[in-house]
Amino acid sequence: MSASTVPRPATFATVQPLLQRACAETCHDGRVKNADDFLFKDEGDLRRRLLGAAPGTVPPACQGRPLVVPGYPDRSLLVAMVEEAEGPRADCAERMPHICPERRPCLSVDEIRSIRVWIEAGALP
């Protein structure tokens, strides 16, 4: 197996830059005061916050839902929010990044796969 085909370890370090670029830099950076801006503020551990429930300030259908369930991407709200299918979001909110693909690019299949692989591996640090 060549160096280019060796899979990257499924650690948070592999997905944090993606989340920072696609989520924090576009909307959820703490400047707009969105309900879920707590995720990307520079205080504390982003991974730890992702392992918690969505805050009480999000739409009612999202409240209490786990953002990331280690080992279970299909039960993780983060995955539901970036995938194309509407089912798992169930009136929780629109697909993220906000207004994709009309105003900004949606996450690619490979980017979503990276998030899913990280979660499947247990959402490792």
Convert the pLDDT of each residue in 60-105 to its tens digit.
Answer: 878 888 889 999 999 998 898 888 766 666 677 788 887 888 888 8
The number of C-alpha atoms within 13 Å of 74 and in the hemisphere containing its C-beta is 1
DSSP 3-state percent helix, strand, coil across the chain (nearest 5): 35, 5, 60
pLDDT given at position 71 = 96
Residue 53 · residue 44 · CB < 8 Å: no
Give one word for 10, left, alpha or beta, with left for phi > 0 and alpha for psi -120 to 50.
Answer: beta
Phi then psi for residue 18, to 5 deg, are: -65, -50
DSSP code for 105: P
For tokens 């209490």, the residue is: 64
pLDDT given at position 36 = 57
Q: Can you give the residue ranges of every domain in the chain?
A: 12-120
Residue 11 · residue 123 · CB < 8 Å: no
Report the amino acid identity of residue 68.
V
